[in-house]
Each structure stands twice: as structure tokens, then as C-alpha cells.
Structure 1
């Protein structure tokens, strides 16, 4: 389980400050601690919602506004690593290139492969 926690943290750490709200900057440290301590997939799903809730609308594709509500519902229902990893991939794939670090473009492919591994378990 530690691996998916780390992958969530890795995605978040590659978001630029422009991607997130002012409030996120203040809450981020405690969120990181909670993600590191999470032991249940449902906890990770809740922390995923927390992160997404503090993303600026400009940080996500226009399509996200249409699918966000069902994505949040899916997060609330998620109970397996497979479900949470799929939800994480969905959020990442709807995040625009403009709000991620330059390094993300180089490391994203490997990150996506690692997240996909949870779907094979």
C-alpha cells in the first residue's frame, strides 16, 4: 500500500503552485502526513478528493467539469487499491500540462506504469 501513497504524493509534488488554491499551500504539510500514514484504500480516496478540491479550474481539462461529480462519488465508494489507482489516473490525465513541473513530462510515463500495476493485482 505504501507504493500508491507514494505515487499520489509524487503526482501532487509535481503540481505547480499555480495549480492549487491558497488554502492548499497552508494545508499541504498535514495532507502529506495523512497520505503517508494512510493504511486503507478508502483513506487514500478521501485524500485524493482533498487534493482535487484544492485544484484551480484552470488546472484541469474542461471535460473535468462534466465528470467531476461522478468521480467524487466514485472516490467516496472506493475500497480497493485498484479503484483508487484508477481514480488517481483519471485525475492526473485530466490535469493540464501547464500546471505540472517540467520534470513531470519526463517521469510521467514511468509513473503511469507504476499506477497501472495496481490494476493487475
Structure 2
């Protein structure tokens, strides 16, 4: 569980300022604490939705609009590490390169492999 929490924090840390709304700056620190302390999949799913809800429109591919509602619903009912991991991967794969830090491109492959470790 803790490792997935860290992977979520790592993804969020590589979002640049263009990725999220101005309002995200306020709750971000408490969100990070909640992610670190999350002890079950339901909590992580809720926190994943909270992060995505603060994304700017240009932070995600246009396709995201079509799948977002079902993605949010799945996050709210996610009850396994595999499911939360796949939902985080889905969000990451729909996030545009423009809103990710340059370091993300170098770190992404390792991060994705760690995410797949939860699914396999």
C-alpha cells in the first residue's frame, strides 16, 4: 500500500504549474499528507479523484472528457490495489506531456513498471 501511495505522490510532484488549478495550492499539502497516511484503496481512489478534479482542461487529452465520468465512478468504488493502480495509470496516460516536468520523461518508464507490478 505504501508504495502505491508514494507512486501517486511522485506523479503529482512531476506535474508542472500549468497542470493544476490555482486553487490546488491551498489543499495540496494536506492532500499530500492524506495520501501518505492512506491505509486503504478507497481512500487512495478518493484522493486520486481529488487530484484530477484540480487538473486544468489542457492537462489531459481531449479523449479524457468522454471517459472521465466512468473513471471517477470507478475511483469511488475501487477496492483493490490493482484497480487503483490501473486508474492512476489511466490518468497518467491521458495527461499531456506539456504539463509534466522534463524529469518525468526520464523517470516515467521506471514509474510505469512499478505501477504494473501492482497489476500483474
- Give the shorter-chain TM-score range: over 0.9
Aligned equivalents of 1:32 and 1:49: distance in 2? 13
Aligned equivalents of 1:37 and 1:64: distance in 2? 29
Aligned equivalents of 2:57 and 2:3: distance in 1? 28
Aligned position for 2:16:
16
Aligned position for 1:55:
55
Name stretches of at least 5 consecutive residues in structure 1 with no aligned partner. none
CA RMSD for the aligned pairs? Answer: 0.4
Superimposed CA distance per residue, residues 5-38 of structure 1 (whole angstroms, 9 cap, x where no aligned partner): 0000000000001100011011100000000000
- Superposition misfits of 4+ residues, deviation over 3 angstroms: none
Report the alpha carbon displacement of residue 92 of structure 1 after superposing the two structures with TM. Answer: 0.2
Aligned position for 1:2:
2
Aligned equivalents of 1:80 and 1:106: distance in 2? 28
Aligned equivalents of 1:107 and 1:12: distance in 2? 13
Name stretches of at least 5 consecutive residues in structure 2 with no aligned partner. none
